[in-house]
Every structure is written in C-alpha cells, then in structure tokens.
Amino acid sequence: MTACGRAVVMIGFMGAGKSSAARSAAEKLGTEAVDVDRVIEQRLGKPIVRVFSEDGERAFREAEERITLELLNRFGPGVLALGGGAVASPRVQEALVDHLVVWIDVDVETAWERSQGTGRPLARERVAFGRLFEGREPLYAQLADVVVPGERSQAMATVLDALQGLPAGRSSGAVPGTKLLWAAGASGDYPAYVGPRLLSSGFWPHTGSGRRFLVTDGNVGRLYGEKVAPLAARVAIMPGEQSKTIAHAEIVWTELARAGMTRHDLVVALGGGVVGDLAGFCAATFQRGVRHIQVPTSLVAQVDSAYGGKTGVDLPEAKNYVGAYHQPIAVIADCDALATLPAAELAAGYAEVVKAALIAGGELWEQVRAGADPAAPEVIAACVRTKLRIVAKDERDRGVRQVLNLGHTVGHAIEAVTGYATYRHGEAVALGLLAALRLSGQDQLRAEAADLFAARGLPVTLDGADPDAVVMATARDKKRVGEGPVPFVLLNAPGQPLAGCAVPARELLAAVRELAG
C-alpha cells in the first residue's frame, strides 16, 4: 500500500482526528507518523497561533505549502497528517496524486466542538467556521482515495486491510478512480468500493475464507455472473419488483440449502435493488444469518439501496413490510455496470440521486441541479457518502435515518396501489418527491425537481392510480407508530430535511391529486 515511495496522507478539517488516524495507520504499517503542523511549528520556532497573529495567515500558508511539498516529495513509505487547509494549494493537490489520500470525515458540529479551547485561529467565530468547512469539503472529496468517518480515526488497521488488491494512487494500478468509503455502524463496519472496472479487473475484497453463493436475476447473471467467480452455486430470480416476495425468498432459501451452503460461506447479491433487498434478507435469515456482499449493478442500488443493511420483501398491502437489518461485509459498486442498463432503469435511479442531493444540499445539490451525470463515479460516491454519514448515526431507523425516506412515503404507496407492476421504484419515488416538496411548501424547488425529472424521462404526473387509494395506502407505511398518522419527511431547504412531520390529511390528498393533474 505504501510501496514505491508512496505515503499514506491524512486530510480533513480541523478537529477531524487526522493525527490519531496517522498514528493508527503508522502502527499498522510499522512506520513513522508525521504531523505536518508540528513540523511547521518546529521550523518556524513558534506555535501556529503565533504565526497567524505575528506574521499573518498568508505567511503561514506559504510556509505550509513549502513544508508540505517538501515532505510529500521526499517522504518514503510512511504516514503524513496534513493541516486542514493544506489541500487548498494547487501544488499540494498535484503532489498528492501519487500518494494514498485518506479523508478523515467529520461533521461541522463535531469539528466545531473539538476545536473550541484549542487556540486555533480559524475556530473563533461559528459562522465563519461553517463557511470554511463548506468551502473545503468539496476539495477533500475530490482528492480522497479513501473516506473514513472521524469516529473510526483510530481503526486504520482494518481500513488498510480493506485496501488489499486495490491500487494505492489514483495515477497507477489496475483500477484508477476507485474510492473506498468506510461504512461505520453499531452492528459492524464494512468497506464500500465505488469506481470503474472493478468487476472486469477481477478485484475481490479481503473477506477471509468461505465459498460464494450467487443470488442474481437472469439478465444480470448473464452479463456479470462470471465476474464474481469462483461460485459454489447460482440462484436466479426473475427481474422486477414482483420477485421481491416471501415466495421468492423461499426459493432462494431452498436452493441455498440444496447447494450445501453453510454459515461459513457468503451470499453474493449481484443485481439491482430487488436482488440486493431479497438476497440480503435471505442472508439475514438463512441458518439465522450468513455473511453477504452487495454487488449493485443498477443506479438505484449503487447510490442507495446496497448500503445501510436494510433488507426485506414486499407484501401486497405495503412495500418492505417484512425484513431485517443485516449489514453486508462489503459493497462493490462498479460504475461501468451502469453502461448496460436500459435507459428507463438509469432514469429511475436518477430519482434517488436527486433525493440524496436534496438531503445533502451544498455541493452535491449544486452539481445535480447543474446537470451532472448521475452515473459519474464522483456523483455516486457523494450520494453514498451522504447515506453512510446518516446511517452511522442511526443504524436502526429510530431517528435521523428517517430523512432518507424523503419522497418514499407517497412513492411506496404508489407502488403498492399499482401492484408493483406499473412504476419502477425510482419512478414512484420521483412522484413521491414532488408530493413531499409540495407538502414542504417548496413550490419553486418542486418546479425545479419536476424539470430535472422530465428531462431524464421520469414521470411527473400520476397515471393509473386513484389518488384517494394512494393516500389511504400511506397509512400502512412502516414508519407509522401506534394509532397516530404516518410521519412524513419534509424539506426546509436543500440540506435541511425534517423527519417526523405531521401532515394534515387534506393537504396530503391535495398534493397527491395534484400529481394526477
């Protein structure tokens, strides 16, 4: 991982835990960890806070760039922790290309809390601190090969193990452009790999021993089944949401049992959201739980459903009513697999991209509204990062994770009312998002979203479903608690979702009827 003179370089905002991560990685690699800020202080003979006050920020930035470049250019296999603002230098950005860059990701509130009382000159005023955070975050995302949550900054040994078989630098190796996003959760962590040519390169994550049992659909299996070989057995289902049932789960369980699968082996879920949900559910329940790997091949799955551990099947009465939380041990999202998707399937996935962008706000929303390619690896990675950040805080959907259901309450109701046969999941979510934005009072944002959907061929009007029946179906949404109404996720603004919102019945009916024209 650090051969040929490459270093492991930690980047991230102040208070993220870069120094801790550097020490953790250095211990794993048996090398030294160097904190660049400490080197700067030694060279200049005074603390950074005095450099700012006595010489000014410009003088500090010049010294920071010079010393950072010197260390990057001469540093052998070792670990560097860069200052939070070092990546703003174009020369530093260029020098990072041949190193393994690890972004220690932390939210702005945690960064602010950790920075108080430290004397950091740029952590004195909260509003300016927030603006600085927002300005630097896109740079970290662009430069990083690996993204690790700040709460896992001292667990770099496991993260580095997950890099086995991947190239260390973005300019070399068999799979350039691949990012590893570390998923942290209460029930277990796992690596998510996002990038091109992951399947064609023969890459497979380090998962220990155990045979691979493939669950896929007939279409995807023909295209990519051999890419995840060697296989102990294959189980194929019919494509489409109508295969996501208990009856099909029984078929999968039976085929796994007949093939001799044991708890030592693993299920490989190769396909879109239906395959991922069904195969994950079967893995969660077969012999009371076996390991599984998600290999998503649709845009819906690559940006959303393959991550977070939600697995399940549908009932005629409601979507995803039977299931389990069962985290994968890895996710392999090969963006090149999207090239074989039918246009309608790619469009359906776009709805989940818009949903993620509305939840995240900031740079991702600006990219999406400007027409960014939803299948671009950097867009997919940003959507995944948004979801993983939320799931890390609330794995079991008891609080903040519910914001990921933006647009899904009405969307799931539309799917159920139409028998899961009229609308693809993403198409129903697009309609659900329009309803949610109307209920949020975001009329201008609703119009903008409708234009984005229409440009991608997604429906913006509801056909073939009675609006009153859709509203009645929302009452069976799985988020409902007790006898009260189902809570909705609304949006104050991009980046400001609100979960648990009460919506008057008349307003809900009006929003759904508006979809019907």
State the CATH number of the domain containing residue 157. Answer: 3.40.50.300
Residue 236 to residue 129: CA distance in whole angstroms: 52
Q: How far, CA to CA in Å, does 75 sit from each of 23, 229, 434?
A: 16, 39, 52
Q: In the predicted model, what is the mean pLDDT of residues 90-104?
A: 95
Q: Where are the beta strands (DSSP E) in 350-495?
A: 488-493
Q: In the predicted model, what is the mean pLDDT of residues 326-353?
A: 97
Q: Please tell me what DSSP assigns to residue 153.
A: T
* Domain that includes residue 83, residue range: 8-173
Portion of the chain with pLDDT greater than 70, in percent = 96
Residue 277: pLDDT above 60? yes
CB of 417 closer than 8 Å to CB of 292: no
* Local confidence band at 4 (pLDDT 50, 70, 90 cut-offs): very low
Structure tokens at 86: 């070092």
- Is 299 within a domain? yes
Give the CATH number of the domain where residue 453 resides. 1.20.1090.10
- Is 351 within a domain? no
Q: In the predicted model, what is the mean pLDDT of residues 204-208?
A: 87
Residue 340 to residue 68: CA distance in whole angstroms: 43
Based on the domain organization, do 45 and 83 belong to the same domain?
A: yes
Q: Please tell me what DSSP assigns to residue 287.
A: G
Based on the domain organization, do 69 and 163 belong to the same domain?
A: yes
Give the model confidence (pLDDT) of 357-367 as tens digits: 999 999 999 99
Residue 164: pLDDT above 90? no
Using alpha carbons only, what angle is made at residue 149 by residues 145 and 153, rounded to the nearest 5 degrees? 90
Based on the domain organization, do 228 and 162 belong to the same domain?
A: no
Chain center to CA of 407: 18
Number of Cβ within 10 Å of residue 54's Cβ equals 10
Phi, psi of 352 (to 5 degrees): -70, -30
Q: In the predicted model, what is the mean pLDDT of residues 214-223?
A: 97
Residue 230: pLDDT above 90? yes
Based on the domain organization, do 228 and 142 belong to the same domain?
A: no
Q: In the predicted model, what is the mean pLDDT of residues 18-25?
A: 97
Quote the mean pLDDT of the chain. Answer: 94
What local confidence, expressed as pLDDT, does residue 168 receive? Answer: 45
Based on the domain organization, do 20 and 163 belong to the same domain?
A: yes
Based on the domain organization, do 158 and 206 belong to the same domain?
A: no
Instruction: Return the amino acid letter for 162.
Output: A
Based on the domain organization, do 52 and 117 belong to the same domain?
A: yes
Which residues on neighbouring strands pair with residue 105, listed in sequence order?
149
What pTM, to 2 d.p., does this model score? 0.94
What local confidence, expressed as pLDDT, does residue 481 receive? Answer: 67
Based on the domain organization, do 510 and 411 belong to the same domain?
A: yes
> 154 or 480, which is more confident?
154
CB of 338 closer than 8 Å to CB of 375: yes
Residue 133 to residue 218: CA distance in whole angstroms: 46
Based on the domain organization, do 337 and 435 belong to the same domain?
A: no
Based on the domain organization, do 406 and 436 belong to the same domain?
A: yes
Residue 178: pLDDT above 60? yes
Domain stops at, among 277, 308, 341: 341
- Is 207 within a domain? yes
Residue 97 to residue 117: CA distance in whole angstroms: 34
What local confidence, expressed as pLDDT, does residue 364 receive? Answer: 97
Domain stops at, among 298, 325, 341: 341
Residue 141 to residue 138: CA distance in whole angstroms: 5
What local confidence, expressed as pLDDT, does residue 171 receive? Answer: 40
* Helices H / strands E in the chain, number of each: 20, 16
Question: What is the biggest distance separating any 2 CA atoms in the chain, rounded to whole angstroms?
Answer: 75
Q: In the predicted model, what is the mean pLDDT of residues 320-329?
A: 96
* Local confidence band at 100 (pLDDT 50, 70, 90 cut-offs): very high
Residue 476: pLDDT above 90? no
Q: Domains in the chain: how many in total? A: 3
Q: In the predicted model, what is the mean pLDDT of residues 494-503?
A: 96
Residue 175: pLDDT above 60? no
What local confidence, expressed as pLDDT, does residue 485 receive? Answer: 81
What length does the chain have? 517
What local confidence, expressed as pLDDT, does residue 166 receive? Answer: 73
Residue 238 to residue 362: CA distance in whole angstroms: 39
Based on the domain organization, do 336 and 403 belong to the same domain?
A: no
CB of 99 closer than 8 Å to CB of 53: no
- Is 20 within a domain? yes
What local confidence, expressed as pLDDT, does residue 77 receive? Answer: 77
DSSP for 176-223 reads: TT-EEEEE--TT--EEEEEETTTTTTT------S--EEEEEEHHHHHH
* Local confidence band at 2 (pLDDT 50, 70, 90 cut-offs): very low
Which residues on neighbouring strands pair with residue 121, listed in sequence order?
none
Q: How far, CA to CA in Å, does 274 sit from each of 293, 440, 447?
A: 15, 30, 30
Q: How far, CA to CA in Å, does 129 sit from each of 42, 113, 116, 125, 390?
A: 26, 11, 11, 6, 22
Using alpha carbons only, what angle is made at residue 419 by residues 416 and 425, rounded to the nearest 5 degrees? 65
What is the DSSP pairing of strand 266-271 with strand 322-325? unpaired
Based on the domain organization, do 109 and 229 belong to the same domain?
A: no
* Local confidence band at 207 (pLDDT 50, 70, 90 cut-offs): confident
Residue 478: pLDDT above 90? no
Helix axis angle, 425-439 to 408-417, nearest 10°: 130
